């Protein structure tokens, strides 16, 4: 009976550790520098923080949250932020805790518009680590009316050390339409994925080791 209890305990810890991966961190807020104002081209978005007109048809969004992190993947120009590549926009994302990040998904749209996400490259910077690198996007999800996928996934080669914020900049697009001067992309939602902390993996491996040990012990007894 004691052996059975140990075996069940080990299996519980092992399966529990496996079940919680991957992790989806909560975005608590974001800042945007050098962005087209809401209403540009009839594309609108909301923001709860400070919106500062910096001139040249640009605004900074500071100390708030809004459309890009509201948990809703929009499919309308009324729920999507329009960006111009020449503006050199940067977006700093703040998380609810420290995570080992392994990917970021940028949702674009809408599907019935000629301007999709189609973001091919982004530079990710982690100021607390002094680390930055550029990743290539993987298109996924719905198609727009030009048969172009509107969402882009950026997978990291290795999970980052534990961080609670990061900045995206140097956005590069791969969308071409002469009527829009090949200069626009859109984001309606940002999602972040992370891997469990090392302690979770240790718990999982410990549980699996205990399962193996108990199995060997049972064979020897038999």
Helix (H, G, I), strand (E, B) or coil at 112: coil
pTM over 0.85: no
- Per residue in 60-90, pLDDT (tens digit) is 999 999 999 999 999 999 999 999 989 999 9
Radius of gyration of the chain from its Cα atoms, rounded to whole angstroms: 22
Percent helix / strand / coil, the chain, rounded to 5: 25, 45, 30
> What is the tens place of the pLDDT at every residue in 195-204?
997 644 433 4
Q: Taking phi first (over 0 means left), then psi (-120 to 50 degrees means alpha), and beta for anything else, what does residue 55 get?
A: left
| Stretch among 37-46, 68-77, 129-138, 204-213 having the lowest mean pLDDT | 204-213
């Amino acid at each position: 009976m004691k052996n059975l209890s140990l075996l069940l305990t080990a299996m519980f810890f092992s399966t529990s550790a496996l079940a919680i991966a991957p992790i989806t961190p909560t975005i608590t807020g974001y800042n945007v520098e050098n962005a087209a104002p809401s209403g540009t081209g009839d594309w609108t978005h909301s923001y709860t923080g400070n919106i500062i007109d910096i001139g040249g048809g640009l605004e900074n969004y500071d100390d708030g949250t809004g459309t890009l992190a509201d948990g809703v993947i929009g499919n309308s120009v009324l729920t999507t932020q329009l960006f111009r590549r020449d503006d050199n926009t940067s977006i700093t994302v703040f998380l609810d805790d420290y995570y080992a990040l392994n990917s970021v998904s940028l949702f674009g749209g809408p599907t019935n518009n000629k301007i999709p996400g189609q973001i091919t490259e982004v530079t990710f910077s982690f100021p607390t680590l002094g680390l930055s690198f550029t990743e290539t996007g993987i298109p996924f999800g719905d198609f727009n009316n030009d048969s172009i996928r509107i969402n882009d996934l950026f997978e990291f080669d290795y999970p980052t050390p534990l961080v609670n914020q990061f900045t995206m900049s140097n956005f590069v697009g791969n969308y071409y339409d002469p009527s829009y001067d090949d200069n626009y992309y859109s984001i309606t939602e940002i999602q972040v994925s992370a891997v469990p902390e090392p302690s979770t993996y240790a718990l999982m491996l410990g549980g699996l080791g205990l399962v193996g040990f108990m199995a060997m012990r049972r064979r020897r007894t038999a």
